[in-house]
Structure 1
Amino acid sequence: MDQPGPIARPLRDRLTIPVLASGGILMAVMQTVVVPLLPDLPRLTGASASTVSWMVTATLLAGAVLTPVLGRAGDMYGKRRVLTASLALMTVGSVMCALSSDIGVLIAARALQGAAASVVPLSISILRDELPPERRGSAVALMSSTVGIGAALGLPLAALVVQYADWHTMFWLTSALGALGVTAVWWAVKESPVREPGRFDVLGALGLAAGLVSLLLGVSQGGQWGWASPRIIGLFAATVVVLALWWWQQLRTERPLVDLRLVTRPRVGLSHVAALLTGFAFYANSLVTAQLVQAPKATGYGLQLSIVATGLCLLPGGVTMLLFSPVSARISAARGPRITLALGAAVIACGYAVRIADSRDLWMIILGATVVATGTTLAYSALPTLILRAVPAGQTASANGVNVLMRTIGQAVSSAAVAAVLVHHSSPLGGISVPTLHGYLLAFAMAGAVALAACAAALTIPGDEPAADSTRTDAGEARGTRDEAMEEA
């Protein structure tokens, strides 16, 4: 195997963080670009609106199922290898969307793109293995912020393409970016020698997949099918039974997919609870803001903005997330990540207070949304640092995968809860039912209350001192393993 030259290797080392961060941004862009298309897809594909909605649901379900599975695979078989495969699946899905207008193919392609949800936890694990402690904090904070940055960039980008070009062009563009991302990761990112040996828990992966699909399908389709319908009740009952059996199986497996004994430790378990609550609080901001500013002026509060203008309203939040990620790292270094997480959740609650105070003036709407984005940056940047300090190096990817899964579940529940509030508080306008301003304010109040609950959960997480020593030990072990691997080579 050829070795990089004295100039090429340092260049690759310098590009590791930008390449991994660009992969996270690309993943978030890929998840977001379909949103501006949803109103037109029934006409473009000849499918019903309910069928078209599966282009979002399929990505959500696949991402939730595959994130912990691919995280565990990365710990066992190599993080760069699994990361490259995830980006490749995402790119293949984008090519399929570019080549077809058949709704069945499009839904299957979007499910393939869900594999990219594992990009962030895998990248964070690589950063832990490869970077010295003094650089790790800021790099992990940046990596965590890429989700919000990519979402803020993806909406206006997709809206511009949809407005001025054929909708397939958008997927050709993301296909090219995906291929570039795969190539960049293969060239610039080193494979970490830190592994967790053992046999892959296939039964555990299937059980977790079945339980998560039942849960998220029930949550995402409850409003459409009816919360009291036999299908929804059956899905939730199946969730309880399947996940209970899965929990029992995981506790009795020598090499489980998810180490539940580790998850139930207060430092890890409470971090996952905070992730779920933060995901709920963060997601309501994007959902409600987009609908609010596009509402007709006849409502008395709506601004009737175009899709492009709506995306631009969310753009300052994405820029803020990029700028505040190093601030989050400095706060975590000085005060500890649990304080950063609590502060971030409190800032999110303040952002919703701004939204409740004034949701009629555009500048106040943008200000409130940006404050929520700032709090999200602090919280999302602190969560992986908490996990890194609490788990062994060999389980970093799978533990961060579970943390991302909890955020995803929080976002799914947030979507269902916000939809239920807005449907319940609607009034007729021009023959259609539109949410009232009171409904939007209730949604803001609900998200703000959940953010305060996340703040309380963060403050109950045990202190950082013992875990920090553990992190330094893990880093030393990782470097020692690398040195041994180099000597053997």
Structure 2
Amino acid sequence: MTTPVASRPNPNALLAALLVSVGSYTLMQTMVVPALPVLTEKLETDTGTAAWLITAFLLGSAVLTPVLSALGDRFGHRRMLLVALGAFLASTLGAAAAPDVGTLIAMRALEGVSMAMLPLALAIIRESMPPERIAASFGVTAAMLGGGAGLGLLVGGLIIEDHSWRWMFGFEAVLIVVAAGLVLRFVPETTRRPGAADRRVDVVGAVVLAGALSLLLLGITQGDAWGWTSPGLLGLFAGSVALFAVLVVVENRQKDPLVDLRLFAHPPMLVTNLAALLLGVVPFFFYVLLPLLLQMPGEVAEYGQGHSVVESGLLLLPASICTMAAGGATAPLAARFGPRAPLFVAMILMTLGAVTTAVWHGGTFELAALFCLVGAGSGFGFAALADLVASIVPRHELAAGNGLNTVVRTVGSAIGSQAAAALLEARTVAGSGVPAESAFTTGFWLAAALGVVGIVLVAVLRPRPYRSGPAPAAGASAPQGAATR
């Protein structure tokens, strides 16, 4: 059921509160990346251990997001959004005060709870925004994923250049407090389904899903360090497959399952999730390769641009602006040409950006301009996914649907970053550890090939709502995406 019109909040204030909340997550996702060399030195650790500051965040996100999203559908999206912000604030303050790298890694894992803010925010928009504002709000909020991530790289570089690494977490803590205040003031609680609070929490399903995702992501992120054919890594993947099989059995026996497996086997939802996987993989080739390409000194490698961390962050910032702009342009495109159109444009732009970068990556400003194509593609793609999930998933499971779609994209991000890192490790200049230019070229061509796969996926996608269980309560309309169509 929707919030009565008379009680709707100010839509601009509501959107601002949700954007700040989601933005606080996306900033923290990438802010640590430029600080890794400094953290390695200050915490007296090695590069492999420091890399866990990224891995732990991904693991925490994958484990906690589907659980909080499903709980939001049952007990209130605003309530769970505040829970996520509170846990995010506590872990961020813990990270700022961390005495050693082990504590910092643990706090980073807990910070992963922040990813749940995106699916919760999308569910709030669907319930609380005026119908004519839903589509555009979906687009801008989802596009914050790419826009905030690019800004996080720049902010992290600026802070670490002149201040202690602890100030990164201090800055983030202030932003989280602001977000929580805005949510308390401007975000209403969404109306729950009758009897939702009486549904049992699927603890067993949550534990099994968390274990399966943890083993999968751990295997992906440790592939280079352990060796892709090592017994330990194969054991992780085998364990993940086994737990996913157990999840199928467990969820099919649950009266109130955490994951409606029939929904995620529904062909339109399956294709949408595969598209989300690619929207995670392709941009992360660029997130890993472009900063190194821009920062590599020319005297070390001929292809290097020799820019500082801050300079490279500034050069990549226009792509974040393109991401946000594309997210805002998704609604009219979908209204004119249908819900698949923005996702089709997304895959075309990312493919074009990858192809042109593979062929032509010798100039600083050319790289920045070409990355804008990828950024715009990401913006269209993120917004299109939010709209497609809303058009397929029953509205009382919207946060859960977006939560798992977000987790799938996170797995794709891990795959993309590890594939790019593997190329840099495998292709080096003879007699040195410096990556060869062919590592970058191959990475961009691989991203282009995956973009073509995405184009094919969109071509076969036929969005249609998933129908299961009892009819929705009176007054609850069938989901129609981000806007009526």
TM range (shorter): over 0.9
CA RMSD of aligned residues (A): 2.1
Within-5 A mapping of 1:90-101? 90-101=88-99
1:478 Cα deviation from its structure 2 partner = 4.4
CA distance in 2, matches of 1:420, 1:161: 29
CA distance in 1, matches of 2:45, 2:388: 44
Gaps of 5+ in 2: 1-5, 479-485
SS of the equivalent of 2:304 reads coil
SS of the equivalent of 1:296 reads coil
Q: Which amino acid aligns with 2:189?
A: E
Correspondence for 1:44: 42
Correspondence for 1:293: 294
CA distance in 2, matches of 1:469, 1:420: 43
Indicate if the aligned counterparts of 2:281 and 2:415 stay in contact, CA closer than 8 A: yes
TM-score of the pair, normalised by structure 2: 0.92
Correspondence for 1:202: 203
| 1:354 maps to which of 346, 356, 362 | 356
Indicate if the aligned counterparts of 1:12 and 1:187 stay in contact, CA closer than 8 A: no
Correspondence for 2:116: 118
CA distance in 1, matches of 2:465, 2:256: 24
Correspondence for 1:65: 63
1:371 Cα deviation from its structure 2 partner = 0.5
Correspondence for 1:280: 281
Q: Which has the higher helix share?
A: 1
Correspondence for 1:410: 412
Q: Which amino acid aligns with 1:168?
A: R
1:58 Cα deviation from its structure 2 partner = 0.5
Q: Which amino acid aligns with 2:267?
A: P
Question: Is 1:79 aligned with 2:77?
Answer: yes
1:468 Cα deviation from its structure 2 partner = 12
CA distance in 2, matches of 1:412, 1:425: 20
Correspondence for 2:458: 458
Deviations 1:28-58 (A, max 9, x none): 1011111111012122112222211111111
CA distance in 1, matches of 2:88, 2:105: 13
CA distance in 2, matches of 1:273, 1:476: 34
CA distance in 2, matches of 1:280, 1:286: 10
Question: Is 1:386 aligned with 2:404?
Answer: no
Correspondence for 1:134: 132
SS of the equivalent of 1:433 reads coil
| 1:314 maps to which of 313, 316, 324 | 316
Within-5 A mapping of 1:7-406? 12-195=10-193, 196-197=196-197, 198-298=199-299, 299-406=301-408
CA distance in 1, matches of 2:439, 2:416: 15
CA distance in 2, matches of 1:452, 1:284: 15
1:362 Cα deviation from its structure 2 partner = 0.7
Indicate if the aligned counterparts of 2:208 and 2:244 stay in contact, CA closer than 8 A: yes
1:14 Cα deviation from its structure 2 partner = 3.1
Indicate if the aligned counterparts of 1:79 and 1:191 stay in contact, CA closer than 8 A: yes
1:333 Cα deviation from its structure 2 partner = 1.4
- After superposition, the Cα gap between the structure-2 partners of 1:93 and 1:286, relative to the gap in structure 1 and judged at 3 Å, is same
Gaps of 5+ in 1: 1-5, 481-489
Q: Which amino acid aligns with 2:414?
A: A
Deviations 1:359-387 (A, max 9, x none): 11011100111100011111111001111
Percent sequence identity is: 32
Indicate if the aligned counterparts of 1:387 and 1:399 stay in contact, CA closer than 8 A: yes
Would you say how many aligned residue pairs link Structure 1 and Structure 2? 467
- After superposition, the Cα gap between the structure-2 partners of 1:427 and 1:137, relative to the gap in structure 1 and judged at 3 Å, is same
Indicate if the aligned counterparts of 2:200 and 2:256 stay in contact, CA closer than 8 A: yes
- After superposition, the Cα gap between the structure-2 partners of 1:36 and 1:475, relative to the gap in structure 1 and judged at 3 Å, is farther
CA distance in 2, matches of 1:46, 1:373: 36
Indicate if the aligned counterparts of 1:152 and 1:315 stay in contact, CA closer than 8 A: yes
CA distance in 1, matches of 2:255, 2:389: 22
CA distance in 1, matches of 2:426, 2:133: 49
CA distance in 2, matches of 1:269, 1:117: 21
CA distance in 2, matches of 1:411, 1:115: 17
CA distance in 1, matches of 2:80, 2:65: 11
Deviations 1:150-206 (A, max 9, x none): 111111111111111122122111111111111111111000013445111100000
Q: Which amino acid aligns with 1:108?
A: A
SS of the equivalent of 1:337 reads coil
CA distance in 2, matches of 1:384, 1:412: 21
CA distance in 2, matches of 1:47, 1:420: 22
CA distance in 2, matches of 1:338, 1:150: 25
CA distance in 2, matches of 1:344, 1:13: 27
SS of the equivalent of 2:160 reads helix
Indicate if the aligned counterparts of 1:339 and 1:459 stay in contact, CA closer than 8 A: no
Indicate if the aligned counterparts of 1:60 and 1:114 stay in contact, CA closer than 8 A: yes
Deviations 1:223-266 (A, max 9, x none): 00111211101101101111111112112211111101111111
1:393 Cα deviation from its structure 2 partner = 1.0
